[in-house]
Amino acid sequence: MRQNYFILILILLFSCTSGEKKSQVELPVLTEDSVVIRDSKPEIKEILPADIKINKELTYDQYTLEDTYPYKDTVREFQWDKIREVLAKLENIQREPQPWGILQNRKNRNGEAPLVANWIRNEYKNVADSLGIERFQGIPLYLLTDSVLPVRYGRDGELVRLTLSNDSNYIGAQTVHVPGSFMIPRKYVQVIDTIIFKKIAFVDRENQNITTLERGDDTWMVRSMNPATTGQHRPPYANDTPLGIFVIQEKKDKMYYLVDGTSTIAGYAPWASRFTNGGYIHGVPVNNPNGKIIEYSQTLGTIPRSHMCVRNASSHAKFVYDWAAVGEGLVVVIE
């Protein structure tokens, strides 16, 4: 009898133990690896060109062109769709505060850039990279994985976003016009304090016009719409106005220019705002160093005639000169 009682107790104990083990196996066990952390921040919607609002609120209203206008046997226009694309790009990348920089090497003041790995000699008999950007006044851009040979050149005045770098000789940067990430020797980069760019001049090489826009709370306001004349491709002295996104770097109330191939002053251009290399937005050239300012020329808005600059009516050049501050105003050249 006692033996049977003992056997019954063992059976009950075994049953309870088995139940406990079964219960423990079924319970989920959380570890650091199994915890999923969900980001509570709402997803930021990308700004599309269609989201960009543009309203006309002119503050300079002389020589104003319509959205489309006749030119000889064709029609020219302001390319608002392309302008919206650039504005959307800038709006998106300006959402997160990050330092900006200007690439600088006017007349090789910061040193001649090294040769890129694959270089050519162009029509001007100058060394250039695969994108046609010249070594003279160029800025060497190195891949993040190779600091021996630059992969291409950046243009003087080009806008870049700066990234963190522990290297005292190089600074990380993201180019904006042709996107890419590079290491750049620090001597070629000027850090600027501007967080949001609110004033932009758009120069159109195809339609030979210029428009200025200013950022409001939720819209971009058109401040002027004018004829302009860009640079012509004429070796060895005249160059196209380069495409890109540039920062205004300096201003001159009179920008003196030379007779081609000499050191003789030929005249001056009034109210000049320099944005790249020798490229300025300026007024009508005066072919007399001591001559009076000329307000307007019938050649404005026709065909490229300049050496690299963007010619304007002189009063419009002064408007840009006064309106967009150095290091804060952008010049965007489109086609």
Report whether pLDDT(214) > 90: yes
> Which percentage of the chain shows pLDDT scores above 90?
79
Name the more confident of 321 and 34: 321
Please classify residue 303 by burial: count the beta carbons closer than 10 Å to its beta carbon, then call 0-12 exposed, 13-18 middle and 19+ buried: exposed
**Distance between CA atoms of residues 278 and 244, nearest Å:** 15
> What average pLDDT does the chain have?
89
**Distance between CA atoms of residues 120 and 135, nearest Å:** 10
Q: Using DSSP, how many helices (H) and how many strands (E) does the chain show?
A: 3, 21
Name the more confident of 22 and 186: 186
Report whether pLDDT(6) > 90: no
Q: What is the pLDDT of residue 38?
A: 45
Report whether pLDDT(157) > 80: yes
- Quick one: average pLDDT of 158-174? 88
Sign of CA dihedral 49, 52, 54, 59: negative
Q: What is the pLDDT of residue 40?
A: 53
Indicate the pLDDT class of residue 167, thresholds 50, 70 and 90. Answer: confident
Q: With the CA atoms of 30, 34, 37 and 38 taken in that order, what torsion angle do they form, in degrees rounded to the nearest 10?
A: -110
Find, among 308, 329, 305, the residue nearest to 212 by Cα. 329
Q: Which residue, chain included where needed, has tokens 């590079």?
A: 182
**Distance between CA atoms of residues 132 and 118, nearest Å:** 11
Contact by Cβ (8 Å): 237, 314: no
Tokens of 205: 């090489």
Report whether pLDDT(156) > 60: yes
Q: What is the pLDDT of residue 24?
A: 38
What is the CA angle 263-268-272, rounded to 5? 115
Beta bridge partners of 314: none
**Distance between CA atoms of residues 152 and 135, nearest Å:** 9
Model pLDDT for residues 244-280, shown as the tens digit of each residue: 999 999 999 999 999 999 999 999 999 999 999 999 9
Q: Give domain limits for the chain.
A: 49-63+197-334, 100-192
Model pLDDT for residues 191-207, shown as the tens digit of each residue: 998 779 999 999 999 99
CATH architecture observed for domain 49-63+197-334:
Beta Barrel (2.40)
Q: Is 285 helix (H, G, I), strand (E, B) or coil?
A: coil
Model pLDDT for residues 35-91, shown as the tens digit of each residue: 444 455 567 899 999 999 999 999 999 999 999 999 999 999 999 999 999 999 999
Which ranges of the chain does DSSP label H, i.e. alpha helix? 2-26, 80-93, 314-323
> Which percentage of the chain shows pLDDT scores above 70?
87
Contact by Cβ (8 Å): 148, 132: no
Which of 138-147, 163-172, 301-310 has the weakest average pLDDT? 163-172
Indicate the pLDDT class of residue 30, thresholds 50, 70 and 90. Answer: very low
Q: What is the pLDDT of residue 41?
A: 57
Indicate the pLDDT class of residue 234, thresholds 50, 70 and 90. Answer: very high
- Quick one: average pLDDT of 283-287? 98
Helix or strand (DSSP H, E) at 76: strand 74-77
Contact by Cβ (8 Å): 301, 228: yes
**Contacts of residue 204, Cβ cutoff 8 Å, sequence gap at least 6:** 78, 79, 210, 211, 228, 334, 335
Query: What class does CATH assign to 100-192?
Result: mainly beta
Q: What is the pLDDT of residue 193?
A: 80
Report whether pLDDT(126) > 90: yes
